[in-house]
Chain A
Amino acid sequence: MAVHCACLLRPPGHTVKLSRLSGSELARRLNGPGLFLHTGPFLSRIRTRIPQVVEGISLLYADYPAPDHEAFADYHISLEKPAGLRAWYHPQVLFKFDGLVPFKPLPLAQALPFLEWGLNWSIASHANHFLIIHAATIEKDGLAAILPGAPGAGKSTLTAFLVNNGWRLLSDELALVSLNDGRITPLARPVSLKNESIDIIRQVIPGATISALSKDTAKGTVALLKAPSASIERVTETARPAWIIFPRFAKGAATELTPRSKASTLIELGDNAFNYSIHGEHGFELLAGIVDRCACFEFTYSELAEAQRTFAALEPEGGAAEGAMA
């Protein structure tokens, strides 16, 4: 990670939305000094010459602040083609973080989702000033619903639909929990859609901005849905967790919201947290406090419109667990 002392040497840059940059200026930054991009509380410096990544960033990050230069960035990222004959025979892409290569290369056609996965990894591995849970988070009237779920459970499909129907996107993959007050800090970035959910979202959200398909990834076919502009604009507004809901898509199933045990919810949230163990007892108290104050449910759905009605009827609750520190 970069050191802070550099900020003494250069003044902060002029910030415009990325959509205000011309195509040639965007390419110049990405090919040269790097594109500085604010996503939630993080500033990334991204470099790449790969055309589909340049196009993907232009499409999906159009509404994000892009300062012309900054002295400090949280994450220095680049996507590059490996050198050698293989670049011609079987084109691949490398993800670099601070000049290091944390992952094996992927096929070049997966370069755009690789950027998203790499950014998620960068945050989950380094942003220990948050407790980070693998969960989508959405907000309405200042209250957040945390939606943890195993890959393929239908969490992103539900999130994509709800944030285009009355809810605000806080995050699709990483719930950032403040260590001080347990509130959720927004990290509104593109929503990762997989397989059948891509066509479902195309049908139910007319005019949705969705990237080109990346086929044959480890998660099947993947496409990225642009985050709603309103969610990106409100990226500094934190929210209080009020519900923890484990969604599960089941074809043809009736919509069902079932209360679940708070104790097992706490265990499962801990299992879904990337850095719970790092925070020790404070992490336990933080997570236990959130579970205590939230209504906890399992949620089975197959119809998105019904799911929307169920979520619209959610009521917050006040918990009162018995418990203590020794």
Chain B
Amino acid sequence: MKPPRNLSDPSRQDAWRLNHQRVTAWRAWAGEIVVYDDLSGDTLLLDVVMAEIFKRLRETPATLDQLTDHLGSVLDLESTPRLRHVAQTALDRLADCGLVETELAARPPGGPNGPPPAPELPFPA
């Protein structure tokens, strides 16, 4: 199984958000969501857990813990480590599809709170 992205250290949980460059259109019917990814041209069917995370992130960015609490609330479950793992797995799958990203990754490189700029190449590009 793939290691979680940046979630192993609970002290630095980034907020996740929708990647609006890729999520340009979507439809929801009876708990299921179909998303159109404008970059790949793929049309993706989200299951109930991914759909709830997608809907929550449409409102505001959220951390894994906040998403776990949201899932617990809408699915009427306790926020247990098991539910957190379910949320993490769904978040990973959404990230693999490019539909969500961390706020850190979304910031421009080199900004005050953004990731460091890529090192310069030792030869002209």
Instruction: List chain A positions with a Cβ less than 8 A from chain B.
Output: 261-264, 266-267, 270, 276-277, 280-281, 284-285, 288, 291-292, 319, 321-326
Contacts and interface: CB of A to CB of B under 8 A. Distances in A.
A276 B34 CA distance: 15
Given A264-B45, A277-B41, A324 B25 contact: yes
Given A281-B36, A284-B36, A326 B23 contact: yes
Interface string B17-29: 0001001111111
A46 to B, nearest CB: 35
B30 A262 contact: yes
A281 B25 contact: yes
Contact of A288 (B23, B24, B27, B41): B27
A288 B25 CA distance: 10
Given A284-B36, A288-B34, A263 B41 contact: no
13 contacts: A261-B32, A263-B30, A263-B33, A266-B43, A277-B41, A281-B38, A284-B43, A288-B25, A292-B27, A322-B27, A322-B28, A326-B23, A326-B24
A280 B33 contact: no
Contacts of A285: 25
User: Is chain A's binding surface mostly helix, strand, loop or mixed?
Assistant: helix
Contacts of A261: 29-30, 32
A261 B30 CA distance: 8
Interface in B42-68: 43, 45
A322 B23 CA distance: 15
Contacts of A321: 27-29
Q: Which 7 A-B pairs have the closest CB atoms?
A: A263-B32, A323-B27, A284-B36, A262-B29, A322-B28, A288-B27, A325-B25
Contacts of B23: 326
User: Is chain B's binding surface mostly helix, strand, loop or mixed?
Assistant: strand
B36 A267 contact: no
A284 B34 CA distance: 10
Contacts of B43: 266-267, 270, 276, 284
A280 B41 CA distance: 6
Contacts of B30: 261-263
A322 B58 CA distance: 13
B111 to A, nearest CB: 23
A323 B25 contact: yes
A65 B33 CA distance: 46
B101 to A, nearest CB: 14
A281 B28 CA distance: 16
Contacts of B32: 261-264
A326 B43 CA distance: 15
